[in-house]
Amino acid sequence: MFPSSTPSAYSLTSALSSHFSPPTLLLLTSVVCPLLWPFLFFSWPILLFHIHSHRALLKPTKESRKQLPAWLQSTTTRLNGKIQHNKVTIIPHRGGSGEAPENTLQSFRLNGLNHIDLKKTLDHHVVCFHDQEPHERNMLKLTGRDASLRSFDLCRLPPLMSRIPSNPLCDYGYISCEGREGRKIPQFTEVCSLSKPMFLELWDDDFNLVETVHEHLRVANQTHNVIWGNRFSTLIQSMCQEVNSSIPVMSTAPQMFNVYVLYYLGLLPFVGIKGFDVFMVVLVNVERWRKLFTGAFGEEDSTPYFVADFFISRIITVINYFLRAPKLFTHLKLRGIPVVGFVVNDEEDWDYCVGLGFDGIITDYPKRCEQFLRRKRGLTSPVLQNAKSAGDDFSKQMEKRRKEAYSTKL
């Protein structure tokens, strides 16, 4: 009788003996064992490499990088062996397009710093405008004119409509545009005269645009206070670096993809990171992005919509899982590369960014984000520095009108 201390081994032996004869067991052993040995032989070096890579992720060598603007300098440090995150900067997307008309002087005046889109007119003036959605390179969404911005001279630019559709990732359907500053497409020189920090995205593959923007920054003495580039175009990024290599540039989508691939392969700690100075992280809110992509498949009760929603929601969930890599973000910050979330419009995602020590949060709701962070975590941000005192009253009025417009639409 076998002792009671080995029931599992005894039961396994009994089960195999009862189902297979000794010759069969010998044959299975002779076939399976040779197949396992190569796997064991080649897997242990890979396992040891990933253990070493994991340790190297949290103890990287800080690289010599460009001087960043004071409002986005990474403040990640070590205290008693623990990683400490000390501040977060709120960057209003297009001037805070969920709280005021996007890319207008009216919205830019409300904030201490702004994310701004730049394009060029037919007569080579630089203006603040984003006309990529919903029609590629088209002004139909904001002005009602079915034409490209580059087909207009500056003096003939149409004004914004009195009610414009909000950013697809915002809450409400429409934003009211009032007054001259609320409907006029502003020149970049007017924005430079505000003397506020800027996060600039250039949307034309035109070297003359980059040179003109840099000249305006130089005249306004703002070259030390900006980050620029384009989050999709490596060509625009290289143009920016050629014109002035001392101004920090944001990462592009291909560069972001390369960093994620190197991270998941375990190679990132051993590879130099070059080509960008600020790492842009696209944080996918599953519910918002699901509605954004499934809206093109008809009504919600239709079969195409149901099928598209089923597959798209699962694809977005998987993408979101791989994009949220806390150890990657900590590794980049310890190497001196600030991490900025783009575009983050929900409280749970704001809390996620702050919990992981993001240096910046680009959002359509800067005031709402500021209030949430102050209430939840006791943090402050430079987003409201130098803002006019009338900003709060204006924001409350806009919020009330948006809710009224939204309820009327329903």
What are 307-328's pLDDT values in tens digits?
A: 778 888 888 889 999 999 998 9
Predicted local distance difference test score (pLDDT) of residue 265: 87
Length of the chain: 410
Q: Is the pLDDT of residue 87 over 60?
A: yes
Share of the chain above pLDDT 70, in %: 70
Can you list the pairs that 82-88 forms with residues at least 24 positions away whose Cβ atoms lie under 8 Å? 83/58, 83/330, 83/334, 83/357, 85/333, 85/354, 85/356, 85/357, 87/359, 87/379, 87/381, 88/353, 88/354, 88/357, 88/358, 88/359, 88/360, 88/361, 88/373, 88/379, 88/381
Predicted local distance difference test score (pLDDT) of residue 396: 52
Beta strands 163-165 and 174-176 are antiparallel
End-to-end CA distance of the chain: 78
DSSP type of residue 111:
S
Predicted local distance difference test score (pLDDT) of residue 178: 82
- Note the CATH number of domain 70-283+324-409: 3.20.20.190
Boundaries of every domain in the chain: 70-283+324-409
Query: Which residue shows structure tokens 């009602």?
Result: 144
Band of residue 271 on the pLDDT scale cut at 50, 70, 90: confident
Cα–Cα distance for residue pair 407/385, rounded to 1 Å:
33
Q: Is the pLDDT of residue 405 over 60?
A: no
**What is the H or E stretch that residue 15 is in?**
helix 7-19
Query: Which residue shows structure tokens 């923007």?
Result: 213
Single-letter amino acid code for the residue at 312: I
Whole-Å CA distances, 349 to 45, 99, 173, 326: 38, 18, 21, 13
CA angle, 297 then 299 then 302, to 5°: 85
For the record, the structure tokens of 313 come out as 């929601």
Predicted local distance difference test score (pLDDT) of residue 44: 56
- Asked if 359 contacts 381 with a C-beta cutoff of 8 angstroms, the reply is no
Find the mean pLDDT for residues 340-367: 91
Band of residue 139 on the pLDDT scale cut at 50, 70, 90: confident
Q: Is the pLDDT of residue 222 over 50?
A: yes
The model's pTM is 0.78
Band of residue 125 on the pLDDT scale cut at 50, 70, 90: very high
